[in-house]
Structure 1
Amino acid sequence: MQFSTAPYSPRTYLPAGIDLTDLKTLEGLYGRLQADLEAAATAAELETWLASYGEVDSAIDQARSERYIAMTCQTDDPEREKAYLHFVEELDPALKPRQFALWQTLVAKPAFEMLPDYYAVFRRSVATAVRLYREQNIPRETATAKLCQSYQKISGAMTVTFDGAEQTLPRMGRIQEETDRARRQAAWEAVAARRLADSEKLEEIFDQLLVLREEIAKEAGFADARAYFFASRERFDYTPDDCLRFHDAIEKQIVPLVREMQAERKAKLGVDTLRPWDLAVDPEARPPLKPFATGDELFEKTDAIFGELDPRLKGFFDVLRQGGLVDLENRKGKAPGGYQANLPEARVPFIFMNAVGMQRDVETLLHEAGHAFHTLAAREQPMNWYRNGIPIEFCEVASMSMELLGAPYMGKFYNEEESKRARRDHLEGIVKFFPWMAIVDGFQHWLYTHPGHSRPERKAAWIALMDRFGGIEDWTGLGDLSEARAYLWHRQLHIFELPFYYVEYGIAQLGALQVWSAAHKDRKAAIDAYLSGLSLGGSKPLPQLFEGAGIAFDFTDKTIAPLIALVREEMAKLG
């Protein structure tokens, strides 16, 4: 793992040779920033201070990011782990209150409101953070974090005995793709029983989380927890009612398509009734796709896709290779999963993956490349905050668009039939996501606007949403295991750990589908607009970021209906 970490712009505020891992040094640095801020009186002086702060923040963020990358690339190296944990356990907690003190001082400055329009989005974010802060909520937030850890611990410890050995639930999930139906059913039942065994513990944890979150919201002066979380997630540009209308549009435009897809699946499988264990297997009993053998092959063929799409995208992708900014192959000692991390001072991205030769790996690299393109397209934004503080609703447009724009070039990996299969599976996955998102988001709207509700009421609310947005699969005749449907939400970590954080992905997916739709008419114009929007970073409110990319910030029937019509048309072509 070798990559260039040289600052994109020369340092002017930080002393040469400064050790960004030494707490005393960092405390001194924050003390200097605080003193300089207190001395700043005019908008021009605040701009100078913000540039200095941005330099410090970028350098510290990069030092943390470098250590995270190093640790995840080799988890069996105790020195790497120690270096990263030093940052998150010792440095970050000590710097957090100092950081907040800077924001309080900044917001209190009369000149803060006189900063030029360029700083409007930043001003709004910082003012909101200061407005929501209550010292009395710190113990509640600590208690919340501990309960979330308990949820993780219980979920992570779930295993079942299957095939004569102890199996994790993710490993059991793979059995759902096998063609032996009786075996899929046995695996599904084993997992459902295991999850139900801990349902009481998880309900207890969630009861406590609800009370704490309601207290936090009340302490901060909000009528309910939903209003608090919309403010804390900086949802300045859409409302709870907008989300509920989004759910209505999904019910009308997308749920019928999902149910049609399931009816087609049932017919292809040749079963009388579609069951929960029939939803992941290939309906034509084909073996999994095998797109590549090595990480190098994955990179080269993806690079060729970008070469076909646009020379600017290929140029960005080549930056990753030349800078040693990718680690793609699965190997012993690597952390699981995948991510795109920023190195904010160098203004470059890093892509981490665990590719094992599956179609999902191809989609993941296209996705993470989209995030990387965002980092590179926005690198000329003067303000660090705007280069790295981009709303998730727009960040994911960058990545999801690349999955869709790259799909027509799957021939780099497959023959024609395989390519069609990969593309259709991808579109089906997008379609199926929307109703699940509406269930998860709708459930949280209900949870946080019904304080003091009982567990039976909560269960009924979830089942009503499953009935409204769910598929045609049959859950009857399962005995005690039929209860599994009522507790499916226990597996969705966002509901426990990240309240109201999920609808963003639905909003972004609509944006990505619009980029894809535009590319059907004029690919170059669509990519021009896409890159133009990405270059804005987080410098504009969400509607203007979408507009900058040539797409509408709208999640009503008006936007959804033509997109789903195009998806139907494409799926029909792909067979």
Structure 2
Amino acid sequence: MKFSEMPYTRPDPDAVKASLSALTRRLIDAKSYDEARAAFLEKEEAGKAVETMASLAYVRHSIDTRDGFYDGEIAFWDEIRPELEEYEQAWNDAMLALPFRGDFEHEFGGLMFVNAEIRKKTFSPEIIADLQRENELSTEYGKLIASAQIPFEGGTYTLSQLEPFQDDPDDARRLEAWVAKGGWYKENQTRLDMIYDELVKLRDGMGRKLGYDGYTQLGYWRMQRNCYTKQDVEKFRAAVRKYLVPVADLIMRAQAARIGRPYPLSFADSALMFRGGNPRPVGTSDDILAQGRAFYDALSPEAGAFFRTMLDEELMDVLATEGKEGGGYQTEFPLYERPFIFSNFNGTQGDVEVITHEAGHAFAYWMNRKRVPGEYCTPTAEACEVHSMSMEFFGWKNVEGFFGPDARKFMYSHLASALTFIPYGTMVDHFQHIVYEKPEMSPAERHAAWKRLLGEYQPWLRLDGEIPFFSEGEGWQRQMHIYENPFYYIDYCLAQTVALQFWVLLQRDPAYAWDRYMAYTKQGGSRTFTQLLQHAGLRSPFDEACMREVCKAAKRWLNDFDLTGIE
């Protein structure tokens, strides 16, 4: 079945609630493990249907935010999901109270109960209205970003469509593109400030209603963090500042010298890695997809079958079009056991990274799509990002096909960007901890906090006000996760550190690296993040030595890389 053929039907909320209540009662009344197990498996199937309808609505709304029908469906889901959460929690509580817990753990593993205990800490009927309002505000932010129509050089562009101009080799044109984008954010900043201010106060209130000091711990529980704490994250941030920021600063100093621009760099100059322009993929979007097919075919039989299914069943929507939501993501339709990739191709190297990054997520789901319970199909967020960020490095196997004459330029750019990204992502996390520890901060105080952190994590950037919004220290508002998925960003940094371990292995023995990748991926979500790493023979990013060693290896490779002939 192709994506376009998947039928969407809005579920009847009352029927869904009644079904959940009946299944919960059957579970509570079960006289044997077999009876409890039957109710459990029926609940799994019912959940697949509801989640698939929600995902279909979300994807089709993302593809065209102007579509009135799916706009209405998103409003429906924003309202109904918090209501359904009350019934899900009743099921959750019944599972935790079962006399047959040992039988379930024997057959399905104990992690489902660990996660159930965490979910119990994230909800009370008292916060249903708050959750509904949170959904409304997140949707409003997404629609505002998608609505951008930015005049530039006689044309009109969305935020995604403007990106190719932001790394144009022409200094004046590149700067103008950054100024145009920054200008749009400044024009809409009052609304952006208001949305975020309400979100912060709303989330702080939810945390307090659930008995926490504020939102931070609730945020960790909502991210299902089941094997590390705020203190572990603080240690990781310290390791980033100690080992990685100095390496990233050397990379950016070399970039400034290479492109002949002053250090510290402006935001516009930081976007240009090479004077002749950043690496560009060869061919059209269809060519990139064809190269993706060749890459996955060569990688392994399982990977080849997966990507051909994605193409044959049209499970990707990748072109940047008017009205389309920005960014990219992967989601699932569990009823059909199919992943889906959403993106915005714009002619940059990011197009290829979609074929590796988002498809890395999709491949991991594909390999685990039949797991029971369904929550074991995917692990927690940081563990999922290992699938995607590591697959980007496996993509070097087909770098010539993707980039042609820019292949070597891409390899340098990709590794350098992976290293300079981690300080940025860590800064996003640090910023959110500051914000939720002081929810009373004014918008101006939040901007000031971001500007301070820029000096700490990205000292190579010039904050002189030349570019509206960005060089005024306000660029955090373009980061969707800060609005829609609080505390979902350090996950990328933890995962990138693990992905760099795969990069090191790839330099030594590509076949062994793939074996380790599959050992990690085939576990699905059946273990915690740190357990997944341990069982695949990988080091934890919370180990300071891990950060030190990958930084050392990457710095040596970049220093030895011959840039002769690359403009």
2: CA distance between counterparts of 1:489 and 1:87?
Answer: 29
Between Structure 1 and Structure 2, how many residues are aligned? Answer: 557
- Give the equivalent residue in structure 1 for 2:435: 447
* CA shift in 2, pair 1:47/1:574, >3 Å: farther
What's the CA shift for 1:233? 1.8
**What are the residue-to-residue correspondences of 1:41-440 with 2, within 5 Å?**
41-65=31-55, 81=70, 88=77, 92=81, 95-112=84-101, 115-117=104-106, 118-152=108-142, 155=145, 161-164=151-154, 167-273=157-263, 274-286=265-277, 289-295=280-286, 297-321=287-311, 324-327=313-316, 330=319, 335=324, 338-355=328-345, 358-388=348-378, 390-415=379-404, 417-440=405-428
8 A contact 1:290–1:359 mirrored in 2? yes
User: 1:472 deviation in Å?
Assistant: 2.1
User: Residues 496 and 305 from structure 1, CA distance in 2 versus in 1: closer, same or farther, beyond 3 angstroms?
Assistant: closer
**1:551 Cα deviation from its structure 2 partner:** 1.4
1:2 aligns with 2:2: yes
State the 1:252 CA deviation: 1.8
Tell me how far apart the structure 2 counterparts of residues 78 and 185 of structure 1 sit (CA, whole Å).
36
CA offsets 1:5-59 (integer angstroms, 9 cap, x no match): 99xxxxxxxxxxxx98455654554344233223214445333322221122223
CA distance in 2, matches of 1:152, 1:374: 27
Aligned to 1:15: none
Return the alpha-carbon distance in structure 2 between the equivalents of residues 333 and 203 of structure 1.
Answer: 25
Looking at structure 2, the residues matched to 423 and 24 of structure 1 have their Cα atoms a distance apart, in angstroms, of 54
Counterpart residue type for residue 397 of structure 1: V
The alignment status of 1:522 with 2:512, answered yes or no, reads: no
Q: Does 1:495 align with 2:482?
A: yes
Q: Structure 1: which amino acid aligns with 2:113?
A: R
User: 8 Å contact 1:310–1:524 — kept in the other structure?
Assistant: no
Amino acid of the residue matched to residue 170 of structure 2? D
Q: Provide the rounded CA distance (Å) in 1 between the counterparts of 2:442 and 2:457.
A: 23
CA distance in 1, matches of 2:508, 2:142: 46
The answer to which of 141-150 and 392-401 deviates more is 141-150
Residue 561 of structure 2: aligned partner? 573
Measured after TM superposition, the shift of residue 237 of structure 1 is: 1.0
Q: Secondary structure at the match of 1:264?
A: helix
SS of residue matched to 2:121: helix
Distance 2:218 2:320 in 1: 43
**Contact 1:20-1:26 within 8 A present in 2 as well:** no
CA contact (8 A) 1:440 1:489 kept: yes
Structure 1 position 481, deviation (Å): 5.2
Instruction: Please point out which of 461, 465, 485 is paired with 2:453.
Output: 465
SS of 1:349 mapped into structure 2:
strand
Q: Distance in 2 between matches of 1:263 and 1:315?
A: 43
* CA distance in 1: counterparts of 2:121 and 2:95, whole angstroms: 13
Closer, same or farther in 2 for the Cα pair 1:385/1:521, shift >3 Å? same
Q: Which residue of 1 aligns with 2:536?
A: 549
Paired residue secondary structure (2:410): helix
- Matching residue's letter, 1:396: E
Change in Cα spacing, 1:326 to 1:570, as seen in structure 2 (3 Å) is: farther
Within 2, Cα distance between the matches of 1:350 and 1:149?
20
The one-letter code sitting in structure 1 at the alignment partner of 2:269 is D
Q: Summarize the Cα distance change of 1:456–1:367 in structure 2 as closer, same or farther, 3 Å threshold.
A: closer
Range with bigger deviation, 89-98 or 515-524: 89-98
> Per the alignment, in what secondary structure is the counterpart of residue 342 of structure 1?
strand
Give the partner amino acid of 1:395. Answer: C
CA distance in structure 2 between the partners assigned to 1:240 and 1:268 by the alignment: 39
Q: Give the letter aligned to residue 228 of structure 1.
A: L
**1: CA distance between counterparts of 2:388 and 2:121?**
32
Identity level (%) = 26
Q: What SS does the aligned partner of 2:332 have?
A: strand
| 1:340–1:349 CA contact under 8 A, matched in 2 | yes
- Matches of 2:316 and 2:136, distance apart in 1: 33
- d(CA) in 2 for partners of 1:285 and 1:453? 44
Separation in 1, partners of 2:60, 2:134:
30
Kindly indicate whether the alpha-carbon contact (under 8 Å) linking 2:160 and 2:344 is maintained by their aligned counterparts in 1: no
Query: What displacement does 1:276 show?
Result: 2.4
Kept after mapping to 2: 8 A contact 1:420/1:574 = no
Larger of the two Rg values belongs to structure: 1
2:549 counterpart residue number: 562
Q: Per-residue deviation at 1:433?
A: 1.0
Letter in 2 for 1:256: P
| C-alpha distance after superposition, 1:508-555 (max 9, x if no partner) | 111222223223333223222322222221111221112233312233
2:454 and 2:360 mapped to 1: Cα distance? 33
Structure 2 residue matching 1:116: 3-state secondary structure: helix
Query: Could you report, residue by residue, the CA deviation over 1:234-268 in whole angstroms, capped at 9, with x for unpaired residues?
Result: 22211111111111111122212222222222212
CA contact (8 A) 1:196 1:484 kept: no
CA offset at residue 397 of structure 1?
Answer: 0.9
Counterpart residue identity of residue 438, structure 1: T
Q: Residue 258 of structure 2 aligns to a residue in which SS?
A: helix
Computed over aligned residues only, the root mean square deviation of the Cα atoms, in angstroms, reads 3.5
Q: Secondary structure at the match of 1:132?
A: coil
